[in-house]
A and B are shown apart, each in its own frame.
Chain A
Amino acid sequence: MKRLCVVLALLSSGAVASDKRSGVEYVSPETRALQADDFANPGMLWVGGGEALWNEAVGQTKKSCASCHQDAKQTMKGVAARYPVFDEVRKRPIDLQGRINQCRVRRQKAAAFAFESEALLSLSAYIAHQSRGMPVTPPRDERLWSYIENGKELYFRRIGQIDINCASCHDARAGQRLSGNLIPEAHPTGYPIYRLEWQSAGSLQRRMRGCMTGVRAEPYAYGSPEMINLELYLMNRAAGLPIETPAVRP
């Protein structure tokens, strides 16, 4: 019962489902149009690149992702909508990028992709794209609860020289203008995104690190437990919103 209360508290602390608005609603009409047109959305270049990698036989096993998972359009549908999940091997949560690298190392016997490498972003984009339009549905797995709770603590922890937490901007001031930028609600539904400022695709972790550096804090390392827990909390907070990968952001 106590456990249940924790989860209920976690979920009710975010905005009510119907109130949630994706980041796409906070961007200019031009950027929205770019995201909506698959032939103009630069993020689709990564999706296309990911499809090519999916079918490439590599590593000591000379197996492609497709050798085991066949057609991603079927087998990967809905996967990104429920990640991060609890990993039986590591006995802690793993995100989609982590899972891709796990398959790379354990099943293909190839070297892990670096964070933010074109290959990892492309495969992530290709897999997440198969869930486009599907609602975020975090697994009901009690092994995840303490990690979600930690993610929430991090979200509400003041950090950096500016000494401010994520919620001060993304919960309390969404829709207001910080410098020239509209503050969105920080829903992680479009990742990897194509960000105009980066002139490239990038991961949710890169985006969060940007906010951390913005408040003059030492960002958490790529792949660190803190990052995964933040991802977990944000996905739980975004439950019900549709996946948009590849989203376009300013």
Chain B
Amino acid sequence: MPILKIDGKDIEVPVGTSIIEAAKKAGIEIPHYCYHPGLSVAGNCRMCLVEVEKFPKLQISCYTPVTEGMVVHTQSERVKDAQQAVLEFLLVNHPLDCPVCDQSGECELQNYYMKYGLYDSRLMEDKVKKHKAVSIGPTVMLDGERCVLCSRCVRFCDEVTHTHEMGIVNRGDRAEIEVAPGKEVDNDYSGNVVDICPVGALTDKDFRFKCRVWFLAQTPSVCPGCSRGCNIEIHWNKERPYQTPGERVMRLKPRFNADVNKFWICDEGRYNYHWIDQGRLLKPMQKRRGVPHEVSWEEAFGTLSGLFLRPQEMGVIVSTDMTNGDLAMAQQLFVSELKVKNVAYQWIRKSGKEDELLMKADKTPNTRGAQALGFEDRSGEIYEQIEKGQIKILFLFGHNLMEILGKDQAEKMRSHLETLVILGPHAHEGINLADWALPSAVYAEKNGTFTNFEGRVQKISKAFPPMGMAKSEREILKEMARQAGIHINLTV
């Protein structure tokens, strides 16, 4: 493995590593636009120039492989001059739309200008005008003037999705990003071009003008959209909630994980967040003479713990949307303590789109986790037993019977039951069937883990407190158990 010197530091890296990667390993930042570790190297922006001893000219660090004994300078006067000049060149026709640009605050032009630019503009000519605010697909907006022609988006469509929608047309200062005639940037991963665009040329329609990025808080989490378990960051509006009344989550962004999703997430997962804040069940409800009434948690716990005296008439259907902690609590309470026989998980969204890259057909995040905890997919048997009258009490986690069984069948099933308890985050139509509807927290509102389809256990973190009076399933079950005199000690 060659050893080289960058800014006086000795670094050992494998053969073929580029200088920029070697520098990153040593904690030295080299500014760059076109280089992206998830894409091929284009070497067109020239922002990453460094000085290599014994080379007459400056070299682009993204494309120059290291050699034994190489001596690199990233901070010399020549490099600084070059960085400033490149930046000035890239910004010659730039519109400086920062006040209206959604990228503002996380823009590499802004960042690098403050770090490596700081020159006064010398431009006397009129700037070249290009297309602005063009919709190039269902999720992406293009602003031609803001583009620095790094070609990351083009390479993404060529190399990652192989859909080839984008290209660069014309030459010189007229060069512009275009979408292939008759096409749209409409693939299952199109949102990623917004993430990799280092400037505000590609912006997300879903996020457009919703919130300034500096008002956002970030919480690391895992996408609950399918069993791949892509690592994500939840960006939510912490500082200015009145700007987006009733909406806390502003967007989801991929979080790098070399083993799961690399830099990407699919669009299904990316825009799969509006349900976090919409249609939520806010208070525990009890049905009295057919009409739902709000009750306090104490009332609910008190009454429901009484049901634990009849475990042989009980059925439990958990969902694969629950975290391992919640599932473990259900397992401990119903299986280990109460010895309920009819405990199962049910898949609700088990056959969706699947592809080579990330998307899995199982659209729930924790099927492997449920299986590992001993739950089996035998909800069908439970429904049969309900019809036969052997099960009188059903604990249902998150499921909508109306959706699963259809309206008539669900109502029939309901009539066989004595008590139906639904724990779930949403106030869907199926909730009306329940005698007890208990609001539970969604994944963004709790800590825990999901096990992805490969068996990889990944952590999710609580971004904000549960909406309304909701509590996590774990807390609800633990409290109910406590009231029934069962103490469960779980550290998951």
**Pair from one complex:** no
Residues of A within 8 A of B (CB): none
Residues of B within 8 A of A (CB): none
